Amino acid sequence: MSERKPYIRRQDRLWWASRRYRAYTLRELSGVGVAVYGGVILAGLYSVRRGPDAYAAFVEWLSTPFAMALHLVLLAAMLLHGITWFQTLPKTMPRLIVGGEAVPQKTITNAALGMAMLCTLAVVIGALS
């Protein structure tokens, strides 16, 4: 009896950098931006815990050009991550049928994004008042 050798497809080491996978790679890298922003928030909370001087130093750091540029990059990463997150929603949930018709994926995505924007607006208004 002979054993068959399994077929193993060759995979380029830089497959993720090819044009075909660029959107996927950017979406996954945006998760790193979310983690970095979480670190910035945790650093702010840690500075609050250390006292008024540490918090004042943190706020002063936030006004540096580097921190402003970092926040712009992180904002772009957060927006990309959030939008692509909601775009996967209709692909991962059971098909939604209303009135005997399947609801289009774009409608589900737009409804979810709209609800997220409304919740964000409510939090901002609540924080400002």
CATH class for the domain made up of 16-128: mainly alpha
Length of the chain equals 129
In which residue are the tokens 């924007």 written?
Answer: 117
Q: What is the per-residue pLDDT for 87?
A: 92
pTM for the full predicted model: 0.74
Q: What is the per-residue pLDDT for 1?
A: 59
**Burial of 99 from C-beta contacts in 10 A (0-12 / 13-18 / 19+):** exposed
Reading the chain (129 residues) residue by residue, the pLDDT tens digits are: 568 888 988 888 888 888 888 888 899 999 999 999 999 999 999 999 999 999 999 999 999 999 999 999 999 999 999 999 999 999 999 998 999 999 999 999 999 999 999 999 999 999 998
Please state the domain extents for the chain: 16-128
